[in-house]
Amino acid sequence: MLELRDICFTIEKDGHEVNLLDKISLKVPSGHFMAVVGPSGCGKTTLMKIISGLLLETEGEVWWKGADLSEDGEMLPNELGYVPQFSIAYDHLTVEECVEHAIRLRVGSVSGSALEELADNVIQQVGMETMREKRVKVLSGGQKRRLGLGLELVTNPKLLLCDEVTSGLDPQSEREIVNLMHQLSLKQGRMVMNITHSLANLELYDSVLVLHEGRMVFHGPPDALSHYFSVQHVEDVYLTLKKRAADAWQGSWSKYRNEYDALIQKRQANRRESEPNAAATESDAKSNSDEDTDLPPESPDNDDNLPGFFRQFWVLLSRRWLLFFRDRTQVFLQLALMLIFPLLVVIFAPGGIEAFPDQAPDPSLDFLEQARATAEVVTKQTKIGALVSGLMMFQVVLLALMGSNNAAREIAGERLIYEKERLGGVRPFSYLLSKIFFLGTLILAQSLWMGIFVQMFCNLPGDIVARFQLLIMINAAMTFVCLGISAAMKSADQASLLSIYLVGFQLPLSGAVLRMPSWLEPVTQPLIAAYWSWSGQLQALSGEKVALGIKSASPTYPFPTVETATVILAFHVIIGLIVAYGFCKRRLWD
């Protein structure tokens, strides 16, 4: 049984406390199907989030199976199913793939033929047998709602919370979804609570909970709704609610709630007697679960059934690569960047770097001719040094841009799906590690190809290993810093914009063009990843003749060592990952 005891939820707005929920008390028995209705902003979704653990109540208690969740922790992931109104599946996956991935991420004891059988059963339950090979992006709104329900059924949850899953559907699709939820409530004592604005199809519910301005103003059988509010049609209930203050409605309801609770119990008992396919009781369903072949196997009442850390990581990583190759736009963009960006560098020195001239003039020349020759040599040395410095900085900036493109939308673009899967038991570190491995592959491919391509055509001097090392590090630093930004933002557009701004500051604040003021340089340099990769590569040329030209051409000198630059860039990587992990652990469900 689920029991709410005097639940309150308060927020602060304009310096005043506002009660979004006020003294909500409710008991929901096993096998119950409840509609939660009320005007917009009355607290329906807030109540659902508190039950699911997405929000913590300000006052009151949530009891589940006789335990106070505020003291004993959250519900186990396999006990709870939460279906939001938005799609919680990737557009490029098929229905069958979505269900199978949900099973692999949430059910640890199922594999092989058992996994296929469970997926078949779930797809059959939600009536999507003919759509199993269709991709999510071509499904209708009603079909996506069915899939959302199916993804929650993989663990056979005892409590299924549905948040406006019928919103925006045509009347026929709405009735099909409500009827599906009705049938699900008859299986193995499952409770189903559905938030809805629609007052159609109420006859399928065991009870209707009406909220008004955060207060509970009615909870009874659907056929008593019109009588209680003295309206001829249930659609007029919302208009009637406006005629009295919410606290007055709440006070009136408190006088009659015991009578209506009795009516609810009687209605539910009668429904179960009249439904030939309904499970008699929760205990009967449990004892007969092995014989009920059209249901997935019941999950054990502990979290040991969750897949292990590494299995979740592997499923997430393999799914990420599948999504990457399914998204032709993303594949084309990555290939275009890898081909075009190195070409942009090469066009500045297609024939390679000229031989570095000696500074000593011909001693046979007179003084003026020696001075003129020396000036020409210095000018040419400076020109070559500036070219080498510019080519290295151009590579660094382009790889920083590629790093931003790699990660800016990586978490923010799928935040809601991640939040939903995390509620179902996905570990934040398994999720983040899958991102690290996926992005790490892109980093290596992009950086090595940039270095190899430019080296083939430009033949840059110096230690190629040190240069490749710092090219990889600038890409990694910008990628994982932007991954942290992506984890912190609520939308992919916000993350992309902030990441682009970050790349935009790299060149002007690096000191490659103009040296920063002496008082500002110590503040900005540690934060500019491009400076460390660029200057470290130049320092690696200290034993080469071209170093003379670089010194005269660069406003920033002396340069840090390769080791120092690598360590600083490693700190950027670590900080980005710490930020990403911190925000992956936080609830950002809007």
CA 525 to chain centre: 32
Q: Which of 569, 376, 564, 546 is nearest to 472 (CA)?
A: 569
Helix, strand or coil, per DSSP, at residue 54 = coil
List pLDDT tens digits, range 17-48: 888 999 999 999 888 999 999 988 899 999 99
| CA 91 – CA 69 distance, rounded (Å) | 35
Q: Which residue ranges form the domains of the chain, and what is each CATH number?
A: 2-79+158-298 (3.40.50.300), 86-154 (no CATH), 309-347+393-585 (no CATH)
User: Model confidence over 252-287: pLDDT tens digits?
Assistant: 888 888 888 888 888 877 776 766 555 444 444 343
3-state helix, strand, coil in the chain (%, to 5): 55, 10, 30
Alpha-carbon distance 473 to 533, whole Å?
7
Token pair 């909220």 in the structure block, residue: 211
What does the alpha-carbon distance between residue 382 and residue 553 come to, in Å, rounded to a whole number?
5
Q: Which residues, 6+ apart, have CB-to-CB distance to 49 below 8 Å?
A: 55, 589
Q: What is the structure's pLDDT at 374? A: 65
Residue 510 is inside which H or E element, if any? none
Dist. CA 58–CA 46, nearest whole Å: 12
- List, edge to edge, every strand of the sheet that includes 80-83: 80-83, 159-163, 191-195, 33-37, 207-212, 215-220
pLDDT of residue 508: 83
pLDDT of 362: 64
Question: Which of 274, 449, 201 has its CA nearest to residue 345?
Answer: 449
Give me the tens of pLDDT residue by residue for the chain, a chain 590 residues long. Answer: 899 999 999 988 877 888 899 999 999 988 899 999 998 889 999 999 999 888 888 999 999 988 888 777 778 888 899 998 777 899 999 999 999 999 999 998 887 889 999 999 999 989 999 999 999 999 998 899 899 999 999 999 999 999 988 888 888 888 999 999 998 888 878 999 999 988 888 999 999 999 999 999 999 999 899 999 999 888 899 999 999 988 899 888 888 888 888 888 888 777 767 665 554 444 443 433 333 334 444 434 444 578 999 999 999 999 999 999 999 999 999 999 999 999 999 999 888 887 767 666 666 666 677 677 667 777 887 888 888 888 999 999 999 999 999 999 999 999 999 999 999 999 999 999 999 999 999 999 999 999 999 999 998 888 899 999 999 999 999 999 999 999 999 899 999 999 999 999 888 887 777 777 777 778 888 899 999 999 999 888 887 777 777 777 776 767 889 999 999 999 999 999 999 999 999 887 66
pLDDT of amino acid 467: 94
- Give the single-character DSSP code of 245: -
| CA-CA-CA-CA torsion sign (554, 560, 566, 568) | negative
The vertex-304 CA angle with 300 and 310, nearest 5°, equals: 135
CB 530 within 8 A of CB 393: yes
